[in-house]
Amino acid sequence: MIKNPELLKQFEDSFIKDEGRLPFDKSIKLFASMWNEGVKLGVLPPKDPLEGIEVDIKIAKVLNSCLKKSSQE
């Protein structure tokens, strides 16, 4: 859980400014490492991967309708 989002934002901005964006291969390695850490901690994979899917679908419908309305204007 992120306790100080402003500090994280500053770190991300500084990192991107100094290092540039991560190449795809490094991003995949980072993701795989974080996934493995989650597995070791017992929080990944989720017990029920479809838990909360209804909310995600409702949000997607709202966002898609907004996109359609804005493209018609």
Least confident of 5-9, 10-14, 68-72: 68-72
- Distance (Å, whole) CA 65 – CA 73: 13
Token digits for 4?
A: 């100080």
- Residues 37, 50, 3, 9: is their CA dihedral positive or negative? positive
Q: What is the pLDDT of residues 41-56, one digit of tens each?
A: 999 999 999 999 999 9
Planar angle of CA 40, 23, 13, nearest 5 degrees: 85
Say if CB 34 and CB 27 are below 8 A apart: no
Which pLDDT belongs to residue 73?
Answer: 64
Write out the residue range of the structural domain in which residue 28 sits.
Answer: 5-72
Tally of domains within the chain: 1
